[in-house]
Chains A and B, each alone.
Chain A
Amino acid sequence: DSGVTQTPKHLITATGQRVTLRCSPRSGDLSVYWYQQSLDQGLQFLIQYYNGEERAKGNILERFSAQQFPDLHSELNLSSLELGDSALYFCASSVGIGVPGELFFGEGSRLTVL
Chain B
Amino acid sequence: TQLLEQSPQFLSIQEGENLTVYCNSSSVFSSLQWYRQEPGEGPVLLVTVVTGGEVKKLKRLTFQFGDARKDSSLHITAAQPGDTGLYLCAGAAGANNLFFGTGTRLTVIP
B37 nearest CB across to chain A (Å):
8
Given A42-B103, A59-B1, is A98 in contact with B40 using a C-beta cutoff of 8 Å?
A: no
Q: Choose from B42, B43, B88, B92 the contact partner of A100 (Cβ within 8 Å).
A: B92
Among A62-70, A71-79, A102-110, the stretch in contact with B: A102-110
Given A40-B103, A41-B102, A100-B33, is A107 in contact with B42 using a C-beta cutoff of 8 Å?
A: yes
Report if B27 contacts A (CB, 8 A). no
Size class of B's contact patch? 20 to 34
Contacts of A114 in B (CB 8 A): none
A-contacting residues, B65-110, CB 8 Å: 86, 88, 92, 94-103, 105
Assembled-state Cα–Cα distance A97/B30 (Å):
15
Q: Choose from A45, A50, A108 the contact partner of B42 (Cβ within 8 Å).
A: A108
Q: Is B43 in contact with A105, judged by CB distance below 8 angstroms?
A: yes
Closest to A90 in B: B42
Closest to B42 in A: A105
Report if B50 contacts A (CB, 8 A). yes
Q: Is B103 in contact with A103, judged by CB distance below 8 angstroms?
A: no
Report if B11 contacts A (CB, 8 A). no
Contacts of B92 in A (CB 8 A): 99-100
Q: Is B45 in contact with A103, judged by CB distance below 8 angstroms?
A: yes
Q: Is A100 in contact with B48, judged by CB distance below 8 angstroms?
A: yes
Which residues on B are within 8 Å of A, measured CB to CB? 1, 4, 6, 30-31, 33, 40-45, 48, 50, 86, 88, 92, 94-103, 105
Q: Known contacts A42-B100, A45-B97, A105-B41; can you find 12 more A-B pairs with CB under 8 A?
A: A42-B103, A43-B100, A45-B99, A48-B97, A56-B94, A58-B1, A99-B96, A99-B97, A102-B48, A103-B98, A105-B43, A108-B41
18 interchain pairs (CB within 8 A)? Answer: A40-B103, A42-B4, A42-B6, A42-B88, A42-B103, A43-B88, A43-B100, A44-B100, A45-B97, A56-B94, A56-B97, A59-B1, A97-B96, A99-B31, A99-B96, A100-B50, A105-B41, A105-B42
